[in-house]
Structure 1
Amino acid sequence: MDCELIILETSDIHGTIFPINYGTNQEINAGFAKIATIISQEKQKHDHTLLIDNGDVIQGTPLTYHYAKFLYDKKNPIIRIMNELHYDAAIIGNHEFNYGLELLNRSVDASNFPWLSANSLNQHRAEPYFSKPYLIKEFENGLRIAVLGVTTHYIPNWENPNHIKALEFADAFETTKKWVDYLQKNEQYDLLVVSYHGGFERDLVTGEPTESLTGENQGYRICQEIDGIDVLLTGHQHRRLTGELHGKTILQPGFNGQALGKVTIPFSFQNGNWQVEQKTSEIIEVTDSIATDNNLLKLAADFENQTQEWLDQPIGEIVGDMTISDPFEVRLKDHPLIEFINQVQMDAAGVAISNTALFHNESPGFSSNVTMRDIVSNYIYPNTLKVIRISGQDIKDALEKCATYFVLDENKKPQVNPSFVEPKPQHYNYDMWEGIEYELNIAKPVGYRVVKLNFKSQPMDLSGQYEVVMNNYRAGGGGDYEMFKDKPVIKEIQTDMTELLADYFLKRKTVYATCNENWKVTY
């Protein structure tokens, strides 16, 4: 008597249901409606399947944003779809908290499957907040699979404190070690799966660190130091990974539903026990040949229609040019779009210094007639703002960090530092500032590239204190901006930046594109 187990993993879906790019409404190969077709095919072919979402599923598209802001009294369309697909479990990801704990709790309550996160703790009782750290699924033939869920514990560095005030996050590695030991001593199972909303902090081949060892990602250490794990499902980094690491089968299936992760494990029944014969992991990519599950789309059709109407609302006009033709050029010298976003932040916060990023290379900028679709196409994260008090030296250190975004090629031409592209694109970790005047000379060694730094046309006082507005992710030190971490918070603006940008247009109707060229990159 033999059997074969198939583990199917989605991760970092980020609210993608419909296979479209909301900026253009062009069809793309992504989302639940395409992934569902593959899931159905796999379940039809195999008798023993386990379907797990690894986190960051309920946030990320205009549809989920519109639902959270305007339709939150209705059942979450993401949960309706996951229930329809008969997920066995979901893991709490860091972006699950972006719309607040009330919406998350309602989503968890509406789910026909458990949400697992052994290290997301109720701060008053030091026990798992989401009720279950693990599950054990038993099939009709007696095969028992244990699944332990863990979440990156770095969440307090990014999230709005009001969204997580009932929780604390224990170290993911230590929690995994604790619960693996517990399971080994107290449960009977034939395979142990750890589903970790986190990634790998080291190169999988060489073991060399690929990021600052902050604890945000601990997948390599989990594989290296914790015995007893058979399969480690990962996410958070938006990578596509398969293979073996220190005896564990690893898998990470990318993001936005562009692919499905699959682990195949044949078992044999020997001496009254199920024995693992082998383990293989693979990525099944969503392609043009994968049909869209239109029945699934019907579950979210009403939400989608209302979202599309909202996106097409005209909110203002631009006089001048805020469009983007080359995102790399935007990062080399001041651009009207970046100046505008910084101006909105300074207006909202009432301070004279601001920083922001061009978050992704698909940002189109603003054409002459601006709609909500334009807003969400350029500002893709549900960030809020913080004003923190930092020193002139902190500002200089941050600019030196920004300057590491660039390297020079053999022709002495600027290129993006590979560390900002691999293993995960991090263009959002390069900031551009308003309210100061500065110059970065990237021909100079790292750490010595800030060759000009003025405030109000005078050299900045490095020992002086300045109030600066930035998004909540950066203010918490996100992106390895350690100089901002734990600095005094002078003010918090809890309105999402998308709303602040839209309100700025709605109040003024007409916005003029300006560019004071207060900064540049030389080489």
Structure 2
Amino acid sequence: MMKSENISIDVIATSDMHSYFLNGPDGSNIYRAGTYVNQVRAENENVILLDSGGSLAGSLAAYYYAVVAPYKRHPMIKLMNAMHYDASGISPNEFKFGLSFFSRSIALSKFPWLSANIEYQRTKEPYFSTPYTIKKIAGVKIAIVGLTSDGLMKREHFEMETDVTMAKTMLTAKRWIRYIHESESPDFLIVIYHGGLNQLDQSTKAHKQEVNEAEKIIKNLGVIDLLITGHQHQTYIGSENETLYVQAGQNAEQLVHVNVNFKKHTTSYEVDHVNSKIVDLNIYPEDNALLNTTYYDRKAVEHWMEEVVSEDAPDLIVNGLEDVVTRPHPFTQLLHDALKKECDFDISCVHLPRNGERGFKGRVTNADLFEAYPHPDVPIDITLKGEEIKGILEYSYAHLEFHNETLSLTIIDETLCTFWQGIEYTVDMTKPPYERVKLDNINLNHMYRVGMTDYCYRNYRHILSSAIIHHTSEVTMAELIKRNLSNKNYRINVDAYFKVKMA
């Protein structure tokens, strides 16, 4: 058989890059990824470069370009354009800074962002145009379709819900994959699914209970050649039902390289063999052209990081979760004071900003503030029923246990721990879960005006059935905290509004 009757195509996949475009020891390997991709292209012009999503949020640099300087072109879009990405999937994190931010990023991209199950609320049509793209390479027809985990979307930016809805991933996958096969007749089908994938060769009882949407797609559809997943920040390669599945870790620390060889028939091509490997990017030098592309962007972020918010902040150190859930704490008081700058009601509700919260003291820079409050949460003006306030508190403390007056068990995402002011409550940890909270000055049947972070609302909507949102602020909690800390007259006076009984 003549050499020209065989076609070799290289598919390179990255995942969850989180806008880590600062180089150096604290930066990303995306510049090294650029070097590797260029080397592959020098050996074979038939290259498809894909990302599974999660490139626009999740780092200090991402926060800077979405919140502090949203008017600037996002450096990750610059880099992905310069590297000639062919397509990207869509992670729920892409919506962390709101729909308008993401839509603007898409408009500046020279490649399509693909998701079949992100739809218009009214028409149920794909929100981001056609959810798949066709690449024709040396006669081989390759279809690439995107899907996004509908489960992961539940905790993201709620304001987009008037425009956007999430269809069920499995139902959408069946409909669109069938359509692509019938209307396009591709020689090879790639699905980019941002939702993660348990490694299928593990058979423990726990894993059987955690079978997710990606596994269902593979097991039930069986017409996918390559499934590229994301979100779990793992790197692996496997196969199931003739589907090769891969995940490329995070922050461009590694990537996955799949080489597909096709054999030509009279009017079509069939896969002859597939080779795949995980590439450690640490052994490759950084690409100078890409470094030059983001030189001033990196300088801007580095300058902002070092900007001093306060030279002498009070002691707001958090010594573990127990430190804040057992007593009123200066750090949570800081959060209440910040929220009340926008929603100055008698009752306020804040949450722990991050898992493993450490707080800060003394000299505080923008970088320190981001570490303490890394998300673009905003205050909202909301009316709640008394029993809903109790329900949120019960949920938090139902997932904590103490032994000998020491926190011994935490089976809750720490950011779901809420702290309230304007109400007085007692938590009795000796009582059964969901019977631990006593509200001293709240009638469970009455309605109350509350200032709350939008994160609390998003994550407790299953409890807030009667809630009414009156207004959503456009100023982030981090900015409100910064305003207080920058004010030399600001003082923290901790309000003793709750107590915890452990024995």
Task: Please give the range of the TM-score, normalised by the shorter of the 2 chains.
Answer: 0.7 to 0.9
- Is the contact made by 1:349 and 1:491 (CA closer than 8 Å) also made in structure 2? no
**In structure 2, C-alpha distance between the alignment counterparts of 1:451 and 1:10, rounded to whole Å:** 46
Secondary structure in 2 matching 1:118? coil
| Residue of structure 1 in register with 2:26 after alignment | 28
Q: Which amino acid aligns with 1:91?
A: G
Structure 1 residues 123 and 517: CA distance shift in structure 2, 3 A: closer
Moved more, 363-372 or 98-107: 98-107
Q: In 2, distance between residues paired with 1:440 and 1:45? A: 66
Q: Give the corresponding residue for 1:466.
A: 448
395, 405, 410: which is aligned to 2:389? 395
C-alpha displacement of 1:475: 0.7
For the 8 Å contact 1:196–1:233, the answer to whether it is kept is yes
Partner of 1:503: 483
Partners of 1:229 and 1:521 lie apart in 2 by 56
**1:83 aligned partner:** 81
Cross-structure match for 2:115: 117
**Aligned residue for 2:228?**
233
In the TM superposition, residue 239 of structure 1 has moved relative to its aligned partner by: 4.3
Q: Decide which of 344, 353, 359 is 1:350's aligned counterpart.
A: 344
Q: Matched residues in 1 for 2:248 and 2:326: separation? A: 33
Q: Tell me if structure 1 keeps the 8 A contact 2:313–2:363.
A: no
CA root-mean-square deviation = 3.6
* Partner amino acid, structure 1, of 2:17: I
Question: In the alignment, residue 429 of structure 1 is paired with which amino acid?
Answer: L
User: Kindly tell me: are residues 168 and 180 of structure 1, through their superposed partners in 2, closer, same or farther at Cα, counting changes over 3 Å?
Assistant: same
* 2:489 is aligned with 1:494: no
Distance in 1 separating the partners of 2:257 and 2:393: 42
Summarize deviations over 1:219-277 as a string: whole Å, max 9, x none. 23322322312222222344445423455332333333333234444444467643335
Cα deviation, residue 344, structure 1: 1.7
SS at match of 1:146: strand
Selected match of 1:14 from 1, 11, 18: 18
- Which residue is 1:244 aligned to? 239
Q: Indicate how the Cα distance of structure 1 residues 308 and 514 shifts in structure 2: closer, same or farther if over 3 A, else same.
A: farther
Deviates more, 1:32-41 or 1:497-506: 32-41
- Return 5+ residue gaps in structure 1 as ranges: 21-26, 212-216, 421-425
Alpha-carbon spacing, 1:442–1:268, altered in 2? closer, same or farther (3 Å)? farther
Q: How does 1:397-476 map to 2 (within 5 A)?
A: 397-403=391-397, 405-406=399-400, 414-417=408-411, 426-438=413-425, 447-448=433-434, 450-456=435-441, 460-476=442-458
Is the Cα–Cα contact under 8 Å of residues 122 and 168 in structure 1 kept in the other structure? yes
Moved more, 31-40 or 351-360: 31-40
Q: Is the Cα–Cα contact under 8 Å of residues 390 and 437 in structure 2 kept in the other structure?
A: no
Determine the structure 2 residue equivalent to 1:24. none
Change (3 A) 1:230 1:474: farther
Aligned pair in 2 of structure 1 residues 155, 488: CA closer, same or farther (>3 Å)?
Answer: farther
Q: Please list, as runs of the form range in 1=range in 2, the aligned pairs for 1:221-300 lying within 5 A after superposition.
A: 221-245=216-240, 247-269=242-264, 273-277=268-272, 283-287=278-282, 289-300=283-294
**Alignment partner of 1:499: what SS?**
helix
User: Any idea what the Cα deviations from partners look like across 1:424-464, whole Å, max 9, x if unmatched?
Assistant: xx44334344444555566765x34x5343344xxx54334
Deviation track 1:51-73 (CA, whole Å, cap 9, x = no partner) reads: 11222222333333333345444
Tell me the amino acid that sits aligned with residue 453 of structure 1.
Answer: K
Structure 1 residues 471, 55: closer, same or farther in 2, change over 3 A? farther
* Alignment of 1:52 onto 2:50: yes
Shift of 1:299: 1.4
Farther-moved stretch of structure 1 (75-84 vs 484-493)? 484-493
Determine the structure 2 residue equivalent to 1:320.
Answer: 314
Larger-gyration structure (1/2) = 2
2:99 pairs with 1:106: no
Aligned to 1:423: none
Q: Verify the 8 A CA contact 2:384 2:447 in the aligned structure 1.
A: yes
Contact 1:30/1:286 (8 A) holds in 2: no
Q: Which amino acid aligns with 1:399?
A: L
- The alpha carbon displacement at 1:365 in A equals 1.6
Q: Which residue number corresponds to residue 145 of structure 1? A: 142
> 1:281: Cα distance to partner?
5.8
How many angstroms apart in 1 are the aligned matches of 2:277 and 2:66?
34
Distance 1:5 1:442, change over 3 A: farther
Map of 1:63 onto structure 2: 61
Gaps of 5+ in 2: none
Q: Percent of aligned positions with the same letter in both sequences?
A: 25
Cα distance change, pair 389–124 in 1 and its aligned pair in 2 (3 A): closer
CA distance 1:355–1:507, change in 2 (3 Å) = same
CA contact (8 A) 2:386 2:447 kept: yes
Counterpart of 1:134, as a letter, is: Y
Task: Give the secondary structure class of the aligned counterpart of 1:512.
Answer: coil
Q: Which amino acid aligns with 2:306?
A: D
C-alpha displacement at 1:470, in angstroms?
3.1
CA distance in 2, matches of 1:159, 1:276: 39
Does residue 173 of structure 2 align to residue 176 of structure 1?
A: yes
Q: CA offsets, 1:97-126, max 9 Å, x none?
A: 344444433332322212222223344654
C-alpha separation in 1, matches of 2:305 and 2:241: 48
Q: Is the 8 A contact 2:247 2:256 kept in 1?
A: yes
Residue of structure 2 in register with 1:518 after alignment:
498
Cα separation, partners in 2 of 1:99 and 1:186, compared to 1, 3 Å: same
Residue 195 of structure 1: SS of its match in structure 2? Answer: strand
How many residues matched?
495
User: 2:198 and 2:468 mapped to 1: Cα distance?
Assistant: 29
Are the aligned partners of 1:108 and 1:115 in contact in 2 as well (CA < 8 Å)? yes
Q: CA deviation at 1:137?
A: 1.3
CA contact (8 A) 1:337 1:513 kept: no
Q: Aligned-pair distance for 1:88?
A: 0.6
Cα distance in 2 for partners of 1:473, 1:159 equals 8
Q: Is the 8 A contact 1:223 1:245 kept in 2?
A: yes
Distance (whole Å) between structure 2 residues aligned to residue 510 and residue 317 of structure 1: 13
Aligned to 1:305: 299
Q: Which amino acid aligns with 1:471?
A: T
Alignment counterpart, residue 376 of structure 1, candidates 345, 367, 370: 370
Deviation for aligned residue 1:87: 0.4
Counterparts in 2 of 1:105 and 1:367: CA distance versus 1, 3 Å:
same
Letter in 2 for 1:516: A
